[in-house]
Amino acid sequence: MQRYDDNDDRPLFMISVAAELAGMHPQTLRLYERRGLLHPQRTAKNTRRYSQSDVDRLQRIQELTELGLNLAGVERVLAMEQQLNAMAEQMQRLQAELMEAAAEMRREVDRVERSHRFELVPVSHTQIVPLGRRRRRA
């Protein structure tokens, strides 16, 4: 599926143009719409208008049917692909949040370490006096 730009969801094509771009008959597009595989936008006069995303989806449906899937199988694959894409987007968001939290934690650790540097006094081993063992009182 080739993506063109951020305006892929603009309704640009009439049914005949969308069908030609996807290499299908217009009646097939109507069938896919009835089955819920496709949701073209409608004009004020209720004319179907297809976006580039719709054409891409039609091409994906065609790929799947050429692989031998029936429309029920195509519906299931498209639903799973949509779910997979949503999960991938969620994972990217969570990874970004994790990276930001790790960076914030590192900044906080650095800040705390810098604030303690003046409180610590270096001691050489020769200045340490062993106290010995304490005896317990009975």
CATH number of the domain residue 19 falls in: 1.10.1660.10
Split into its structural domains, the chain has a count of 2
Q: Are residues 93 and 63 in the same domain?
A: no
Q: Are residues 63 and 89 in the same domain?
A: no
Q: Are residues 60 and 88 in the same domain?
A: no
Q: Are residues 51 and 75 in the same domain?
A: no
In a domain, 22, yes or no: yes
DSSP, residue by residue, 74-114: HHHHHHHHHHHHHHHHHHHHHHHHHHHHHHHHHHHHHHHHH
pLDDT score of 135 more than 70:
no
Window from 4-13, 29-38, 42-51 with minimum mean pLDDT: 4-13
Q: Are residues 49 and 109 in the same domain?
A: no
**Which spans in the chain are helix H?**
15-22, 26-35, 52-66, 71-116
In a domain, 130, yes or no: no
Q: Are residues 59 and 32 in the same domain?
A: yes
In a domain, 85, yes or no: yes
Q: Are residues 83 and 111 in the same domain?
A: yes
Q: What is the mean pLDDT of residues 44-54?
A: 94
Give the domain range for residue 88: 70-117
Q: Are residues 109 and 96 in the same domain?
A: yes
Q: Are residues 19 and 58 in the same domain?
A: yes
Task: Check residue 122 and give its pLDDT.
Answer: 67
Q: Are residues 58 and 6 in the same domain?
A: yes
| Mean model confidence pLDDT for the chain | 88
Higher per-residue pLDDT: 117 or 9: 9
pLDDT score of 131 more than 80:
no
Per-residue pLDDT of 23-39, as tens digits, reads 999 999 999 999 999 99
Q: Are residues 39 and 63 in the same domain?
A: yes
Output the pTM of the full model.
0.66
